[in-house]
Structure 1
Amino acid sequence: MARIFDTPFALAGAVGQDLGVSDWLSIEQERIDLFAEASGDHQWIHVDPVKAASGPFGACIAHGYLSLALVNLFLPQIVEVRGIAMGVNYGCERVRFPNVVTVGSRVRGSAQLVAVEEVKGGVQATTRVTIEIEGQERPGCVVDTISRYYPA
């Protein structure tokens, strides 16, 4: 269940707070293969289960950028900002991939609101999203996303 903010200006009161977690998602080979098609990255560590089985991780691993792309799936499950005419993905900072996500793993997003500032015509929010891997101490990805919300 997403944490709801009635206006973009209400975000300022939640700086430093955990916003919640998304649902778990199983990372299957089909999703990895589709990302390889979309990105053009067909490296064997991602798409060749036989060769990857004898590789350093014992199985295929998700692309780091696939883990990053899942932020777009997870963030709306975690936070909803109402009273906006438009929300814009403004960018990201400090992208890190501390751990591999092996095929068959389950991942989810967790989020913390890092900063909020007013910008011309709206509000800019920096949210740290962590892609957690079930049963693993280190996450698959950590990124500070920057979103701009323009009030209705």
Structure 2
Amino acid sequence: MSARVFASLDELKAALDQPLGPTAWLAIGQERIDAFAEATGDHQWIHVDRERAAAEPLGGTIAHGYLTLSLIPHFGQQLFRLDLGQARVNYGVNKARFPAPVPAGSRLRARAAFADLRESATGVALTTRYTIEIDGGAKPACVAETVTLLVSNLTPRLTKP
């Protein structure tokens, strides 16, 4: 699947609430979980202690919720590309939930939809709703709304309907 390209704000506006995806599957191995623990300093046993986690109800280690959330840029570039000729910055996350744990060895993929597009003082804010699925899972691993600020003094404003 190739990323859908958006070359104007009007194209983004027309794509509101349209599904994007799914992406390719991504394996979440223990090595990635351990590397995330090292990078963040989060060494909670449920993520890194294979022996102890194996004795618990989940039967093994699980990925950090924030590791799953941090995969949004990886998945996002597979889903869409913004060719708008302006800088983009992560402005924040409106909402993030982790309905199901991600056992080490699982595969994840994502779907998305643009939820909102609105002018701000410094440009245009694009809200994207992501759902990260677990292969064979009944519930998603993560559901999150991210906000990307499209920054430019030359940003063409949204066309009024």
TM over 0.5, shorter chain: yes
Instruction: Please name the residue that 1:104 is paired with.
Output: 105
Matched residues, number: 152
After TM superposition, the runs of 4+ consecutive aligned structure 1 residues lying more than 4 A away are none
Q: Secondary structure of the residue that 1:18 maps to in structure 2?
A: coil
Higher RCO (CA-CA < 8 Å; seq separation 6+): 1
Distance 1:84 1:8, change over 3 A: farther
Secondary structure, counterpart of 2:86 in structure 1: strand
Q: Take 1:108 and 1:90, find their aligned partners in 2: how far apart are those partners? A: 23
Separation in structure 2 between the aligned mates of residue 65 and residue 83 of structure 1, nearest angstrom: 29
Alignment partners' CA distance in 1, 2:20 and 2:150 = 17
SS of residue matched to 2:42? coil
In structure 2, do the counterparts of structure 1 residues 90 and 111 end up closer, same or farther at CA, with 3 Å as the change threshold? same
> How much has 1:121 moved relative to structure 2?
4.8
Cα deviations by residue, 1:51-84 (Å, 9 ceiling, x for unpaired): 1111121010000110110112111111111022
- State the 1:148 CA deviation: 1.5
Give the distance between the partners of 2:121 and 2:61, measured in 1 at CA: 45
SS in 1 for 2:20: strand
- Listed as ranges, the matches of 1:64-143 within 5 Å are 64-143=65-144
| Rg comparison, structure with higher value | 2
**Over aligned residues, Cα RMSD in angstroms?**
1.4
Structure with the higher fraction of residues in strand conformation: 1
- Residue 53 (structure 2) pairs with residue 30 (structure 1): no
CA distance in 1, matches of 2:122, 2:103: 42
Give secondary structure in 1 for the equivalent of 2:109. Answer: strand
Q: TM-score, normalised by structure 1?
A: 0.94
- Cα distance, 1:7 vs. partner? 2.0
More moved, 30-39 vs 118-127:
118-127
87-96 vs 111-120, greater mean Cα deviation: 111-120
Q: What are the ranges of 5 or more consecutive residues in structure 1 without an aligned counterpart?
A: none
Question: Contact 1:52 / 1:60 at 8 angstroms: preserved in 2?
Answer: yes
Secondary structure of the structure 2 residue equivalent to 1:139 = coil
- How far off its partner does 1:11 sit? 0.6
Quote the sequence identity (%).
47
Between stretches 78-87 and 63-72, larger displacement belongs to 78-87
